[in-house]
């Protein structure tokens, strides 16, 4: 009788053991696989900033933050309007010099220095208006640059309204760590036969949070800041090059020489009664104009590396989907794992 009871007890323990094995096998086949995928997604989010070199490598996020800080004083409507006004001052002086001053002075410019002054001003006038060959004139080239920047004031403001660039890596890393930890906890819970538990619910919440993030930050919907950022980066491509900045910096010695010749040699030679208010305004404001443009071009030149780093990031318009797609997958996998238990 005792032997029979022992056999029954052994059979019951064997049945319980078989049930646990069956339960774990079912969990392994139906629930753990989705959770493992969620775990991989979490690890992928952690790795993303390093893959994109937002941290480590080029530290593109930090360079993007530096570029935004350097450009901020110039990317305002009053400042850009001032640059456009400066170009208008120079343009008005060129027209006046070409149509009024040079015709009046050329006949009385008899000495070699005077004739050289006339030629210098004529050279500036020609280059200002037309340039040579397929190259644009100075006025067209500089106006195009300032105009492109003016067109992106709102785009810059939209990007500036996003969280600071240096925080971007952590918007991947922190959710990635949480997703990975929750997925690991849910896997353990299922292996113990308890379902996905609170960790599974936490994964759903994290997925929804990832989906919501681009909308909260108005990267999509609202201002569409991510798309405006892409437009700004694209529009700056022809501007933010060493060749372009060097060419524009090279215009200023030409303009400066002409201003000096006008002020010291040409205007004093003009016959009495010759009115040249635009040239006078140009000379009076030249020091300010050249200094302001020098600072502006200097900031552009100093941030060529930073701009290249930002340009090397994935297009801004894709960033919302780096949150939305993982969010959809994490939430869906967590729900699937919970239902399969």
* pTM greater than 0.85 (yes/no): no
How wide is the angle at C-alpha 194 spanned by C-alphas 340 and 206, nearest 5°? 70
Question: Is 1 inside a domain boundary?
Answer: no
What is the pLDDT at residue 15?
A: 52
Number of domains comprising the chain: 1
pLDDT digits (tens, 9 = 90+) for 3-51: 555 445 545 554 555 455 445 544 444 444 899 999 999 999 999 999 9
CA–CA distance, 235 with 15 (Å, rounded to integer):
71
Question: Is 146 inside a domain boundary?
Answer: yes
CA-CA-CA-CA dihedral for 226, 41, 208, 228, to nearest 10:
0
Mean pLDDT of the chain: 89
What is the pLDDT at residue 29?
A: 46
Question: Is 23 inside a domain boundary?
Answer: no
Per the structure, the complete domain to which residue 152 belongs is given by: 28-340
Question: Is 140 inside a domain boundary?
Answer: yes
What is the pLDDT at residue 330?
A: 96
Question: Is 18 inside a domain boundary?
Answer: no
| Residue 123 near residue 256, CB atoms below 8 Å | no
Question: Is 32 inside a domain boundary?
Answer: yes
What is the pLDDT at residue 57?
A: 77
Among residues of the chain, what percentage have pLDDT more than 90? 79
Question: Is 10 inside a domain boundary?
Answer: no
72-93 average pLDDT score: 96
CA–CA distance, 316 with 305 (Å, rounded to integer):
18
pLDDT digits (tens, 9 = 90+) for 193-210: 888 889 999 999 999 999
CA–CA distance, 95 with 118 (Å, rounded to integer):
15
pLDDT of 112 > 70? The answer is yes
Question: Is 16 inside a domain boundary?
Answer: no
CA–CA distance, 61 with 229 (Å, rounded to integer):
14
């Amino acid at each position: 009788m005792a032997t029979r009871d022992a056999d029954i007890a052994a059979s019951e323990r064997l049945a319980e053991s078989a049930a646990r094995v069956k339960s774990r096998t079912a969990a392994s086949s139906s629930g753990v696989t989705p959770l493992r995928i969620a775990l991989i997604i979490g690890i992928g989010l952690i790795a993303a900033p390093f893959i994109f070199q937002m941290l480590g490598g080029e530290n593109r996020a930090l360079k993007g933050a530096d570029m935004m800080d350097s450009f901020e004083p110039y990317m305002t409507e009053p400042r850009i309007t001032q640059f456009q006004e400066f170009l208008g001052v120079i343009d008005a002086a060129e027209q006046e010099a070409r149509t009024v001053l040079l015709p009046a002075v050329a006949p009385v410019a008899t000495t070699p220095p005077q004739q050289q002054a006339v030629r210098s001003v004529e050279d500036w006038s020609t280059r200002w208006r037309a340039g040579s060959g397929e190259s644009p004139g100075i006025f067209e080239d500089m106006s195009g640059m300032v105009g492109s920047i003016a067109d992106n004031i709102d785009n810059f403001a939209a990007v500036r309204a996003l969280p600071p660039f240096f925080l971007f890596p952590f918007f991947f890393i922190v959710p990635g760590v949480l997703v990975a930890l929750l997925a690991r906890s849910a896997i353990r819970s299922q292996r113990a036969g308890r379902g996905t538990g609170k960790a599974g619910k936490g994964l759903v919440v994290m997925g929804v949070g990832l989906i919501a993030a681009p909308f909260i930050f108005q990267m999509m919907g609202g201002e569409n800041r991510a798309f405006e950022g892409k437009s700004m980066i694209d529009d700056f491509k022809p501007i933010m090059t060493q060749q372009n900045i060097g060419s524009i910096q090279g215009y200023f010695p030409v303009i400066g020489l002409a201003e000096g010749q006008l002020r010291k040699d040409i205007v004093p030679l003009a016959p009495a009664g010759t009115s040249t208010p635009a040239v006078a305004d140009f000379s009076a404001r030249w020091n300010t104009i050249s200094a302001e443009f020098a600072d502006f071009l200097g900031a552009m030149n100093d941030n060529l590396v930073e701009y290249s780093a930002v340009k090397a990031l994935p297009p801004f318009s894709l960033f919302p989907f780096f949150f939305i797609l993982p969010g959809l997958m994490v939430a869906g996998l967590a729900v699937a794992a919970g239902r399969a238990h």
